[in-house]
Amino acid sequence: MQPPRDGAADEEGPMRNDGAGNVQRSSGPDRRLATGDGVRSDGSYYDPEFNAYVVPVVLGQHRISSRADDMLVTTLGSCVAACIHDPVAHVGGMNHFLLPGAPTDGGLGVATRYGGVAMERLINDILARGGQRDRLEVKVFGAARVIDTSFDAGASNAAFVLDYVKAAGLKLTGQDLGGASGRRVHFFPTTGKAFRRLVRPETERETVSQEMDCLRALKHGVPEPVVDLSERRRRNGR
């Protein structure tokens, strides 16, 4: 049975890098004025298909917004993104993590690439913005088997995030996990509406390559810089 999702499968379009840190909050009057090409000062850009501004969420980040014109977007291979929303406070956010659990050495530089840390920080920041735990609604995406190794990172991530949501007493309202294809997820944080699209083969290869680089860096204790792959595609006109 196909897991529930809001949007139909399709191929992805371009994104743009914002160069931000682990978390960025968006609320109040829009001071991120757009330039002539629709790009705001934080790197988010206007997408006419959705009539919203794309706010990228790269691996190791979480982003929070209470703006109706923000759309949080990420691309996933074996990674998982949790989209969490408070339907009363109209605030929500998305994370993007690489591995389940938490780092054994407690390293802060890579902590948000682990699900345990990524989930806790996202939830706490939503609560700090007026959300209430008993109202939170969660949708989870990703966890594909796209890395050809004996360790199925996708399956481990899927099991972790489902167990986490259940143990935390949160309401799971949608999931699209597993399979063998990368995904691009679009999430509207004020309404909780989400769309999942399958990505093109070249985008999936780039996503897998980035995940493998991060896994190797974590193994050797060297934080690997993560970039928004769509910025490269946008510059190349792809």
For the chain, percent of residues with pLDDT exceeding 70: 72
Structure tokens at 27: 């609320």
Q: Give me the domain span that covers residue 182.
A: 43-233
CA distances from residue 90 to 137, 145, 146, 208, 217 in whole angstroms, order as listed: 11, 34, 34, 33, 37
- pLDDT of 23 > 60? The answer is no
- Residue-wise pLDDT for 164-219, tens only, equals 999 999 999 999 999 999 999 999 999 999 999 999 888 888 888 888 878 777 66
pLDDT score for 21: 34
**Residue 16 domain-assigned (yes or no):** no
Domain membership of residue 20 (yes or no) is no
- The answer to whether residue 78 scores a pLDDT higher than 70 is yes
Domains of the chain: total: 1
Rounded mean pLDDT of 147-173?
A: 92
Whether the per-residue pLDDT at 130 is higher than 90: the answer is: yes
Asked, for residue 7, whether it belongs to a domain, the answer is no
Q: What is the pLDDT of residues 30-71, one digit of tens each?
A: 445 556 567 888 889 999 999 999 999 999 999 999 999 999
Residue 67 in any domain: the answer is yes
Q: Give the tokens for residue 158.
A: 């899927």
58 falls within a domain: yes
pLDDT reading at 234 higher than 80? no
Task: With H, G, I as helix, E, B as strand and everything else as coil, classify residue 62.
Answer: strand
Q: Is the pLDDT of residue 149 over 90?
A: no
Provide the CATH number for the domain around residue 103: 3.30.1330.200
Q: Quick check: is 26 in a domain?
A: no
Q: Which amino acid is at 146?
A: V
**In the structure, what pLDDT confidence band is assigned to residue 220 with cuts at 50, 70 and 90?**
low
pLDDT for res 135: 98
Tell me if 4 sits within 8 A of 11, measured CB to CB. Answer: no
